[in-house]
């Protein structure tokens, strides 16, 4: 039936802009208020380490929620799970805004994690509507947001804090959550037309996903592709300050450079993914990243150490990730299309866990003496694991055919 009224419930698939905005709020919710952590700690009279739970604890919660929300969307549909997640995010943002005790603030902050479904399920919405290559192309354009938001979010959050105080960040989140709830209600109709008849029926289908070697191959590829990025942002401050004597502003630019590379690679992915099979895009990105880091390592070991060339070689990781991740993500959700939400959520949780593991390793082994070389070595190791995983999926394709 035709829809009547400005705020009628949508029955048609969403516009790309809606999916981009949903992805953006998921990214911004993590990093936008990072410049305010010191002020939050002072306001609640807690240490900076305790205040940092608003980041670390949030990541842990989002990892768990992705595992839960993906299957729920496979059973009940993308639309209701997205709407509930956005409503929880908006309410929790108000709770953070009004909190007068850190424990209360932290509790509401964890509930904010429900917004992670906006990113995980946006990917599933794309896969519901398009075949593998078309989905990879659209995911490439959406992925550009994942590069832009980390660069602009802390800047906007810092300005809000400077002029209005740290709570202004959460006022922004509350307004954005409410606005996106309305937008999703009006623009995002249900796209999951192959829902399980019951939760029990869905769980009976799960072994199909868990037994899929393609799923694990693609997921490991994505996890360690992102891992190279996590390793870099963990070690960039040490290398920039101690090895190159860079100012904090210059270090910020150096960290931002890899996301610029990611945005460029994602743009190329959007242009090329419709023309080439998934494995071409996946392996092309892994080779670009591996070659860039390998040449960079040779240059550094040769005694040529300059911040511009160093960061320039690291940018190849960003470009490679932009080429690989949309195609690999499409592959993850194409293994069992009826479990696309579950696959997206589980692989997302793996990426968070893998990032935490790699950052802890990086922090443990990097020293002022070995930082410049060891950072490239750890990044290259992560990239090579992702390359092997991509080759493994290609081997399965050659043995069993392209269709999972």
**What DSSP designation does 99 have?**
-
Lowest mean pLDDT among 12-26, 31-45, 176-190, 208-222: 31-45
C-alpha 122/C-alpha 215 separation (Å) is: 19
pLDDT at residue 252 is higher than 60: yes
Element (H, E) at 143: helix 132-164
Per residue in 109-149, pLDDT (tens digit) is: 999 999 988 888 888 888 888 887 888 888 888 887 777 77
What pLDDT score does 7 carry?
A: 62
What pLDDT score does 391 carry?
A: 96
Q: CA neighbours within 13 Å on the CB side: how many for 154?
A: 14
Mean pLDDT score of the chain: 86
What pLDDT score does 88 carry?
A: 96
Predicted TM-score (pTM) of the model is 0.81
Report which of residues 258 and 92 the model is more confident about: 92
C-alpha 33/C-alpha 313 separation (Å) is: 30
Per residue in 353-368, pLDDT (tens digit) is: 888 888 888 878 888 8
Token pair, residue 329, equals: 């993500």
Q: Which residues neighbour 204 within 8 Å (Cβ) at sequence distance 6 or greater?
A: none
What pLDDT score does 177 carry?
A: 96
Above pLDDT 70, what percent of the chain?
Answer: 93
Identical fold, 16-188 and 207-400:
yes
- What is the pLDDT averaged over residues 233-241? 79
pLDDT at residue 48 is higher than 80: no
Per residue in 261-315, pLDDT (tens digit) is: 988 999 999 889 889 999 999 999 999 999 999 999 999 999 888 888 998 999 9
Closest CA to 228 of 383, 351, 361: 383
What pLDDT score does 34 carry?
A: 74
**CATH superfamily, domain at 207-400:** MFS general substrate transporter like domains (1.20.1250.20)
pLDDT at residue 323 is higher than 70: yes
- What is the pLDDT averaged over residues 153-172? 87
Above pLDDT 90, what percent of the chain?
Answer: 37
The answer to whether 188 and 125 have CB atoms below 8 angstroms apart is yes
Banded pLDDT at 203 (limits 50, 70, 90): low
pLDDT at residue 403 is higher than 60: no
| Domain 16-188 grouped into CATH 1.20.1250.20 | yes
- What is the pLDDT averaged over residues 163-182? 94
- What is the pLDDT averaged over residues 365-385? 90
Banded pLDDT at 197 (limits 50, 70, 90): low
| Interaxial angle between packed helices 132-164 and 307-334, expressed in degrees from 0 to 180 and rounded to the nearest 10 | 130
Count CB-CB contacts under 10 A for residue 196. 18
Token pair, residue 239, equals: 């290398």
pLDDT at residue 325 is higher than 60: yes
Q: Which residues neighbour 118 within 8 Å (Cβ) at sequence distance 6 or greater?
A: 22, 23, 25, 26, 82, 85, 86, 89, 180
Closest CA to 173 of 71, 113, 90: 90
Closest CA to 339 of 67, 115, 138: 67
Length in residues, the chain: 404
What pLDDT score does 27 carry?
A: 84
Banded pLDDT at 248 (limits 50, 70, 90): low
Count CB-CB contacts under 10 A for residue 2. 5
Domain ranges across the chain: 16-188, 207-400
Give the ranges where 77-129 is alpha helix by DSSP (H). 78-98, 102-112, 116-129
Give CA torsion, residues 175, 124, 201, 218, to 10 deg.
-130
Banded pLDDT at 214 (limits 50, 70, 90): very high
pLDDT at residue 54 is higher than 60: yes
Report which of residues 180 and 158 the model is more confident about: 180
Q: What are the distances in angstroms from CA 70 to CA 251, 346, 351?
A: 36, 8, 15
Q: Is the dihedral of CA 103, 108, 113, 114 positive or negative?
A: positive
């Amino acid at each position: 039936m035709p829809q009547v009224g400005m705020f009628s419930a949508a029955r048609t698939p969403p516009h790309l802009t809606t999916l981009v905005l949903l992805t953006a709020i998921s990214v911004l919710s993590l990093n936008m208020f990072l410049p305010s952590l010191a002020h939050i700690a002072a306001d609640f009279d807690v240490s900076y380490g305790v205040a940092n739970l608003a980041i670390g604890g949030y990541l842990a919660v989002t990892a768990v929620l992705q595992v839960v929300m993906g299957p729920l969307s496979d059973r009940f549909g993308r639309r209701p799970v997205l709407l509930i997640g956005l409503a929880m995010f908006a309410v929790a943002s108000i709770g953070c805004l009004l909190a007068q005790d850190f424990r209360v603030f932290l509790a509401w902050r964890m509930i904010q994690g429900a917004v992670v479904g906006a990113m995980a399920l946006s990917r599933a919405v794309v896969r519901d509507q398009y075949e593998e290559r078309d989905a990879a192309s659209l995911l490439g354009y959406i992925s550009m947001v994942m590069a832009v938001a980390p660069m602009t979010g802390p800047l906007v959050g810092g300005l809000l804090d400077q002029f209005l105080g740290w709570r202004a960040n959460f006022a922004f989140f509350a307004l954005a959550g409410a606005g996106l709830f309305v937008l999703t209600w009006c623009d995002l109709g249900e796209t999951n037309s192959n829902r399980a008849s019951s939760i029990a029926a869905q769980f009976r289908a799960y072994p199909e996903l868990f037994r899929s070697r393609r799923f694990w191959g693609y997921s490991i590829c994505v996890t360690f592709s992102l891992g190279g990025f996590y390793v870099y942002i963990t070690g960039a401050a040490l290398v920039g300050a101690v090895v190159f004597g860079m100012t904090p502003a210059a270090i910020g630019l150096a960290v931002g450079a890899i996301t610029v590379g990611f945005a460029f690679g994602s743009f190329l992915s959007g242009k090329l993914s419709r023309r080439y099979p998934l494995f071409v895009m996946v392996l092309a990105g892994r080779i670009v990243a591996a070659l860039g880091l390998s040449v960079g390592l040779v240059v550094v070991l040769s005694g040529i150490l300059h911040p511009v060339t160093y960061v320039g070689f690291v940018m190849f990781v960003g470009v490679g990730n932009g080429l690989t991740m949309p195609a690999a993500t499409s592959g993850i959700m194409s293994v069992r299309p009826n479990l696309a939400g579950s696959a997206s959520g589980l692989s997302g949780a793996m990426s968070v866990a893998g990032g935490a593991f790699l950052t802890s390793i990086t922090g443990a082994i990097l020293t002022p003496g070995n930082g410049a070389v060891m950072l490239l070595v750890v990044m290259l190791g992560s990239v090579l694991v992702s390359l092997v995983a991509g080759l493994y999926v290609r081997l399965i394709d050659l043995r069993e055919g392209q269709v999972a």
